[in-house]
Chain A
Amino acid sequence: MNREDFTILNNGKLIYFDNGATTLKPDCVRDTINDYYNIYTSNIHRGDYSSSLKVSELYDNCREEVRDYINAKYCCEIIFTSGATESLNDIVFGFFRHNLKKGDEVLITESEHASNVLPWFILQKEMGIVVKYISLNENYEVTIDNLQKAITNKTKVVSLAHVTNVIGDVRDIKNIAKICHEKDIFVVVDAAQSAAHEKIDVVDMDIDFLAFSAHKMYGPTGVGVLYGKFNLLKKMIPCRYGGGMNAIFNNDGYVELKDLPDRLEAGTPNIEGVLGLCECIKYIKKIGLEKINKYEHDLRKYLIDRLSELDFITVYNKNNNGIIVSFNINGVFSQDTAIYLDKYNICVRAGNHCAKMVKNVFNVANTVRVSLSFYNTKEEVDLLINVLKNSKNIWEEIL
């Protein structure tokens, strides 16, 4: 649905199934960014002239738009970053580096993205915290039971993707957070894969910190969000210092920082990016997240059903509740499959999808991943199935 909103989809025969990597951008997002450059380029919170005032106002409105989207209590709990990766790094190095001690345990899983693994590994090396894994069940999911088994009296943080990027399973964050908070455990949620597809309510789910990127939700690259509960964010130590975040500084080294959110946004921000993010959120709201969610799940079911008809295909995550499908043509390396599909303008991702520990999960290191969006159609799925059906010719086609 809504394909007419995307110039790129109306230009050719593109079948874009790599929405987990980044989504396509609707014309309204492009136009918003163009307007910033064509009509009112200026820095924020600086000038006394009308274009700067206008940009400042638009920029500040974005915070309200994001706040409303994730139902945060206050605008100042929304920090603009360069993306989920930076948000997660800031959470680990700006907050947890100063609030954990040697021996404290952090729980993640083996299906997390590198951005939710490597920062914790650094803290493990640096200060002796211990990174542990919640076991996944036979469908590669986190169960409440396994979470409870993994928690010890040293567990201080549970840091999980809301939706993982290889398996696409949706985690029950609300119940996970409930259990964690009964034991004074912080809950960090990586919403990179979910922000455009699943409803997030940080108050109802009781999330302590949240991270996501605009570019996976129809927005521009290089911009994202860090959410933190006010009382926690207040204690976060900035990882970057400079203009825009200080209130006073003297030649003797005395520095006073601004309040939230400014203190965590040093330097001129990615203004075009933030404006684009604001526009893509408005766009998603206009279509309706519930409608998107239902459409995408129906389409996934159709894709799984069609793939299941093919006896030379192994699907690894049939039983999950997300919108990602990981599969292989039996006996063909995933990258060769991706190159073959590319001959038909079908974009899929081959690999381990930045979750290098996933080989411990699937028992295969690399898969072909189809990640769906509302602009994908049953006709596109049918085309994919047809091309796969003809894949006996794969070597003639790619060699």
Chain B
Amino acid sequence: MDNDIKRSIILDNYQDNSNRIIPDNVSEYIKINSNNDSCIDNIDIYVKINGNLIEDIKYYGEACVIAISSTNILRNLLVGKTFDEAKNILRNYFNMIEEKEYDNHLLKEACVYSDISKQPSRKTCATLFARGISKILSQNDK
């Protein structure tokens, strides 16, 4: 992917605040905090689950451009998916970050981080959301 296109996808998602909010009906959501020890990224993730389906995700907090944009991209990928589908997407995402085999059709816009491993310190930024949501999924899998 061309660098300019990547950058504009990242910035669009960074600036898209539509889901960067604490949900109104917060009691219907499961909340988890995700932060990075080595830096100051810190977000709360809110997930609304309906049976085996991820019905909605919101997030709130302060973090760098990589952390926020990847949160928004993955949020949009995961809403409406079943647990199994979501886990599969996340597995591929982690694989991509770690430079292993992955399915780029599954990851769509999230492929903008495909060479983030060239900046090792930013890998934790790119996985801030993915680590948090994975925890929620494994804790609530029936």
**Chain A residues near B (Cβ < 8 Å):** 333-336, 339, 350-352, 365-366, 395-396, 398-399
**B40 contacts A350, CB within 8 Å?**
yes
Q: Which of B62-116 contact A (CB under 8 A)?
A: 62-65, 68
Residues of A within 8 A of B7 (CB): 395-396, 399
**Bound-state Cα–Cα, A336 to B39, Å:** 11
**A351 contacts B39, CB within 8 Å?**
yes
**A335 contacts B6, CB within 8 Å?**
no
Complex interface bits, B6-28 against A, C-beta within 8 A gives 1, otherwise 0: 11001100000000000000000
In the complex, residue of chain B having the shortest beta-carbon distance to the beta carbon of A333: B64
CB distance from B131 to the nearest CB of A (A): 18
**B65 contacts A334, CB within 8 Å?**
no
**B40 contacts A399, CB within 8 Å?**
no
**Bound-state Cα–Cα, A336 to B64, Å:** 6
**B63 contacts A399, CB within 8 Å?**
no
**B39 contacts A333, CB within 8 Å?**
no
Q: Given A350, A365, A399, which contacts B65 in the complex, CB threshold below 8 Å?
A: A399
> Is B41 among interface residues, defined by CB-CB distance under 8 A?
yes
**Bound-state Cα–Cα, A329 to B96, Å:** 32
**Bound-state Cα–Cα, A166 to B101, Å:** 44
Residues of B within 8 A of A365 (CB): 40, 42, 62
Q: Given A339, A366, A395, which contacts B11 in the complex, CB threshold below 8 Å?
A: A395
Residues of A within 8 A of B68 (CB): 333
In the complex, residue of chain A having the shortest beta-carbon distance to the beta carbon of B125: A335
In the complex, residue of chain B having the shortest beta-carbon distance to the beta carbon of A352: B40
Determine which residue in A333, A352, A398 has the highest number of CB atoms from chain B within 10 A of its CB, and name it.
A333
Residues of A within 8 A of B65 (CB): 333, 336, 395, 398-399
In the complex, residue of chain B having the shortest beta-carbon distance to the beta carbon of A364: B62
**A335 contacts B39, CB within 8 Å?**
yes
Could you give 18 example pairs across A and B, Cβ below 8 Å?
A: A333-B64, A333-B65, A334-B40, A335-B63, A335-B64, A336-B64, A336-B65, A339-B64, A351-B40, A352-B40, A366-B40, A395-B7, A395-B11, A398-B65, A399-B6, A399-B7, A399-B10, A399-B65
**B11 contacts A335, CB within 8 Å?**
no
Complex interface bits, B49-63 against A, C-beta within 8 A gives 1, otherwise 0: 000000000000011
Residues of A within 8 A of B39 (CB): 335, 350-351
Residues of A within 8 A of B10 (CB): 395, 399
**Bound-state Cα–Cα, A339 to B122, Å:** 10
**Bound-state Cα–Cα, A352 to B39, Å:** 10
**Bound-state Cα–Cα, A396 to B7, Å:** 8
Residues of B within 8 A of A351 (CB): 39-40
In the complex, residue of chain B having the shortest beta-carbon distance to the beta carbon of A394: B65
Q: Given B6, B11, B63, which contacts A333 in the complex, CB threshold below 8 Å?
A: B63
Residues of B within 8 A of A339 (CB): 64
Determine which residue in B10, B11, B39, B65 has the highest number of CB atoms from chain A within 10 A of its CB, and name it.
B65
CB distance from B2 to the nearest CB of A (A): 13
In the complex, residue of chain B having the shortest beta-carbon distance to the beta carbon of A331: B15
CB distance from A353 to the nearest CB of B (A): 10
**Bound-state Cα–Cα, A375 to B68, Å:** 37
In the complex, residue of chain A having the shortest beta-carbon distance to the beta carbon of B3: A399
**Bound-state Cα–Cα, A383 to B98, Å:** 37
CB distance from B59 to the nearest CB of A (A): 14
- Top 10 nearest A-B pairs by Cβ distance? A351-B40, A335-B64, A399-B7, A336-B64, A333-B64, A336-B65, A365-B62, A366-B40, A399-B10, A335-B39
Residues of B within 8 A of A395 (CB): 7, 10-11, 65
Residues of A within 8 A of B42 (CB): 365
**A366 contacts B62, CB within 8 Å?**
yes
Residues of B within 8 A of A366 (CB): 40, 62
**Bound-state Cα–Cα, A352 to B68, Å:** 18
In the complex, residue of chain B having the shortest beta-carbon distance to the beta carbon of A353: B40
Residues of A within 8 A of B11 (CB): 395, 399
Q: Given A335, A398, A399, which contacts B41 in the complex, CB threshold below 8 Å?
A: A335
Complex interface bits, B33-46 against A, C-beta within 8 A gives 1, otherwise 0: 00000011110000
Residues of A within 8 A of B41 (CB): 335
**Bound-state Cα–Cα, A229 to B85, Å:** 66
**Bound-state Cα–Cα, A396 to B63, Å:** 19
Residues of A within 8 A of B64 (CB): 333, 335-336, 339
**Bound-state Cα–Cα, A398 to B66, Å:** 10
Contacts A336-B65, A365-B40 supplied; 15 other A-B pairs, CB < 8 Å: A333-B65, A333-B68, A335-B40, A335-B63, A336-B64, A350-B39, A352-B40, A366-B40, A366-B62, A395-B7, A395-B65, A396-B7, A399-B6, A399-B11, A399-B65
In the complex, residue of chain A having the shortest beta-carbon distance to the beta carbon of B61: A365
Residues of B within 8 A of A399 (CB): 6-7, 10-11, 65
**Bound-state Cα–Cα, A395 to B112, Å:** 14
